[in-house]
Structure 1
Amino acid sequence: MTAGEGKLIGDETAGKPFSAPCAIFIPPDAVHGFQFARGSEGIVATVLADRLALPRASDRAFSEYFTKSRIVPMEGETAGEAAHLQRLFPQLLEEHGNAAVLGRDWLLDMHVTEILVRLARVGVRTSTPEPQGSSSSDSRRLLALETLIAAHFREHRPVAFYAEKIGVSVAQLNRIARREAGASVSRLLARRLIDAARRDLVFTPTPVQAIAYSLGFQDPAYFNRFFRRQTGTTPGVYRETQRRRLAS
C-alpha cells in the first residue's frame, strides 16, 4: 500500500488498522475483507497457493509465517526491504503484461518468490525456535521432498519412489511429512496436482480433458472424480465459478 490507511477485517470483528507504507499478506482460504480510507492507493497481486510451496519448504520459520494474515510496515527498520519491494511489484506487473515474451512464466515465478521471501524476512526472527521434535535434517528432507514433488508430480510416482530418492523408508518419510508439513506424502502429491489443475483451469483456455492429460491422468473421467473428491466440485464448475469471481 503506497498511500492512505484502512482496516483488515478477519476473525477479529474490530479489524486490524494499517497505514501506508505497508504490505499486507493474506494466506490461502483466509476469510478477510478491507475498509479503505478515501484516496488509498496500492497494488494488489493474487497468486495461486502453490507459489508458496518453495519458500515454505525452504525454512520452517517461513512456513509458520505464511499461515496467517500479516500487516508488514514498510518504514523504519524495514526500509531496506521496502525499497526492494517497491522495485519488484512494478516489475511483476510489467512482466505479467508480456504474454507473448519468452520465459514470462519463469520470471513471474521468480518475482513472486522473491516478494514472498522479502515480506517474510521482515517478520521472521532468525532466532525463532523450531517446534519440538523437529530437526534440521528433517527440514532438509522435507525440502528435498518438495523439490522432487515439483519435478515428478505429473508422473504419478508411488511414495516409495520419493522415499528411495531421499534415502529413507516410506514410513519414515510419511512421519517426516506429517510432522514438518502436516500431511502425508500422498496428500502433498494430491495438493500439488490440484494446485496445478486450479491454475490451468482459471488462467488458461485449455480444455479440461487436455489439462487432465497434461497432469498425467490417462482417463479424464478419473481426473474429474479425483478433482471432485479433493475440492468438492467438478473442474468445469470450478473454472466457471472462479472466473466469474475474478471478473467481478
Structure 2
Amino acid sequence: MPNDFAQLPLPDAAPATLALQALGQTPQANRWRTEAMRSHATPRLIFFARGQGRITVAGLTSGYGPNNLIFIPARTMYGFEIGAAVFGQILTLPAAMAAEWPDTPVHLRLRDVAGQKELLALIEGLERELQSSRPHSRRAAHYHAGLLSVFFARQIALQSIDPALARQQTSAAKLVAAYTGLIERDFRSDHGVADYASELGVTPTHLTRCCRQTCGQSALGLLADRRHFEACTMLRDTKTPVQDIASQTGFQSAAYFSRAFQARAGVSPTTFRRAGPQVRSR
C-alpha cells in the first residue's frame, strides 16, 4: 500500500511549547484521551499527586500511586487509567529541552518527604511563571523546567532499583518495547501483527504471548489501540474526511474502518465527531 499520506499535516506535527496541564477526573466520553495508546513528538513528564491506577509505557504495565513521576520520551507509546480519586499534572517539554532528560522511560516513586516538597516547589514555580504576564516569564519558566530536569536526574541517582526497572530488562519487555517502537513508526501503514513479528524475528504467537505477559493485551490489541487513538484525535481535532482518516490509520477501506471504530467506541466515526468541539479545517 503506497504511503501517500506521509506528507499530510498531522495533529501532533506542530512544534510543542512548554506547557503544564492538570490531570483530574476525566468524563467517561473522553477517557480515550488518557487510556488509549498514544505518543507525542516531544517528551512528557507525568506527576501523580494522589490516587492510584495503572500506566502502560512502551508495552509494559505497572501500577502508579501518589508522588509518582513518570517520564515519557518522544515517540514512546503510553496510556494510563485515571479514576475519580486521581489528580496530577502532565508537563509538555519542547524538543529543544529533550537532551536534558533520559532517552528511555523512567518511573520514579518519591518516598522521601523532603523530595516530595522539593518537587512541589519546583512545579509551583514553573506553573506560576507559565501563568504570569510579567516580562520574561516564559524564559523563567524554561529555567524552572531545567531545574526540574536536574531534580529528576538526582532522584534517579538516589533511588534504589525499582522492580519496574528490573522488569524493563527482561527479554519479553525488550521485545514488546521494540514492537511498540515499530507500531509508532508504521501504524499508518497496513502492516499487521505478522509483518511486525517477522521484522522482529519472532512468530506472531510468541509476540502476543510476550505482550500479554508485559501489559495484559495481545499484539493486535496494542496495534488497534494506537490506531484508535489517532482516529479519535483526528475526528475530534481536525476536519479530515473519514475516508482519509481510514487510510491514514492503516485501514484499507472506509467501511472497514467504520465497522472497527464502532465496535470499539460504540458509535460511528461520524457520531463520535459530532459529539466533540467544533474545530477549524486543517
- Pick the TM interval, shorter chain: 0.5 to 0.7
Query: 1:92: Cα distance to partner?
Result: 8.5
Q: 8 Å contact 1:134–1:180 — kept in the other structure? A: no
Deviations 1:188-209 (A, max 9, x none): 1111111000000111121212
What letter corresponds to residue 235 of structure 1 in structure 2?
Answer: P
1:168-247 matches, cutoff 5 A: 168-243=202-277
Note the C-alpha offset of 1:167: 2.7
Amino acid at match of 1:217: F
**8 Å Cα contact 1:177-1:184 kept in structure 2:** yes
- Structure 1 window deviating more from structure 2 (202-211 vs 159-168): it is 159-168
Where structure 1 has 5 or more consecutive residues not aligned to the other structure, the ranges are 1-22, 32-45, 95-110
C-alpha contact 1:227 1:233 (8 A) present in aligned 2: yes
Q: How many residues align?
A: 183
Separation in 1 of the partners of 2:39 and 2:114?
A: 27
The answer for the alignment partner of 1:78 in structure 2 is: 116
1:142–1:213 CA distance, 2 compared to 1 (3 A): same
Report the aligned-residue RMSD.
4.4
Mind listing any 5+ residue stretches in structure 2 that lack a counterpart? 1-20, 45-55, 65-79, 90-109, 133-144
2:37 is the counterpart of 1:50 = yes
Higher relative contact order (CA 8 A, sep 6+): 2
Structure 1 residues 148-206: Cα deviation after superposition (integer angstroms, max 9, x where no partner): 11111111212122222223222111100111121111111111111000000111121
Q: Report the CA distance between 1:236 and its aligned residue.
A: 0.6
For the 8 Å contact 1:27–1:67, the answer to whether it is kept is no
Task: Report the residue type matching 1:50 in the other structure.
Answer: M
The amino acid of 1:167's aligned partner reads G
Q: Larger strand proportion, structure 1 or 2?
A: 2
Paired residues of 2:22 and 2:87 also in contact (CA < 8 A): yes
Structure 1 length-normalised TM:
0.56
Q: Given residue 164 of structure 1, which amino acid in structure 2 is its aligned partner? A: S
CA distance in 1, matches of 2:204, 2:264: 23
| Correspondence 1:130-141 to 2 at 5 A | 136-141=170-175
| 1:223 CA displacement | 1.2
Distance apart, 1:128 and its partner CA: 4.0
Q: Percent identity?
A: 27
Asked if the contact 2:34/2:81 (under 8 Å) is kept, the reply is no
CA contact (8 A) 2:227 2:250 kept: no
How far 1:127 sits from its partner (Å)? 4.2
